[in-house]
Amino acid sequence: MSRMEALLNLVRPTQRELARQANEEPKGRTRMSGIYELLRRDILECRLKPGVRLRFEELRALYEIGLSPLREALMKLASDGLVVLEEHKGFRVAPVSRSDLLDITFMRKEFDAMGVRLSIEKGDDAWESSILASLHELSKKPKLGPDGLVDAEWEKRHRAFHLTLVSACGSPWMLHFREQLYDQADRYRRLSVQYLREPRDHLAEHREIAEAALARDSDAAVFLIRRHLDRTVQILLAADGVLSAEL
């Protein structure tokens, strides 16, 4: 095979790939990864409520899937800390607690602070422009949809913006841990503030953070990010009776 043909083969999808794209399969390729994504979403969005027991017969009927991929997906979710497994007793959706939320927030602040510091130190022009780009996309989407719920697309862009801020840190492990905690925090957020109207100017906060990062002002960026996360957790604690009541 000539070099040019080899290149073309890389660029041009094979017939099989085209066929696969045509067929509907937007989820994972195996049943296991498909059900994993589905369960993860349902847990993060609190359709599966904290503490709820996950019986195999129910899940099997609900998601129309066999036992093997189901167990494997739940195992992975257990490693993510989204479900808990008690041996011979089965899986449950991970419980929530005020102390857990505080711990998650504490670690998120540490990760995001460390991440943005390193990114400011190491980030190049591409990093700077990606901040501008993700801030722009975020600003173009209103937070609340027509139904008063937080817009799904906004959440996606919000996640992307905060990831961009730390994306030049150079530590894959940090980004991995950070993402795990972002998921955890997401669940708490959706647990209590589905309909809550916050007296808060998100866009201004995000713009401030982006400006500090672009100005390479580490201390300011860290301060603003920490305050951003603190405000969120304060609102959650104030809004949710269960979380604020617990000692």
Return the residue of 37, 42, 56, 231 that touches DNA, per CB under 7 A. 56
Pick from DNA, a second copy, none: which does 80 bind, CB < 5 to 8 A by kind? Answer: a second copy
- Taking the least distance from each CB to DNA, the nearer of 66 and 170 is 66
Interface region with DNA, contact rule CB under 7 A, candidates 80-88, 131-139, 156-164, 231-239: 80-88
Count of residues that bind DNA according to CB under 7 A:
29
| Cβ atoms of residues 175 and 114 within 8 Å | no
What is the smallest separation between the CB atom of 148 and a second copy, expressed in angstroms?
32
Tokens of 47: 């359709």
- Taking the least distance from each CB to a second copy, the nearer of 52 and 90 is 90
CA angle 82, 155, 200 (to 5 degrees): 110
What is the smallest separation between the CB atom of 93 and a second copy, expressed in angstroms?
17
- Taking the least distance from each CB to DNA, the nearer of 88 and 197 is 88
Torsion region of 35: left, alpha or beta (phi above 0 gives left; psi -120 to 50 gives alpha): alpha
- Binding flag, residue 47, DNA (CB under 7 A): no
- Residues in touch with DNA (CB under 7 A): 1-2, 5, 15-16, 27-32, 53-57, 65-69, 71-72, 85, 87-91
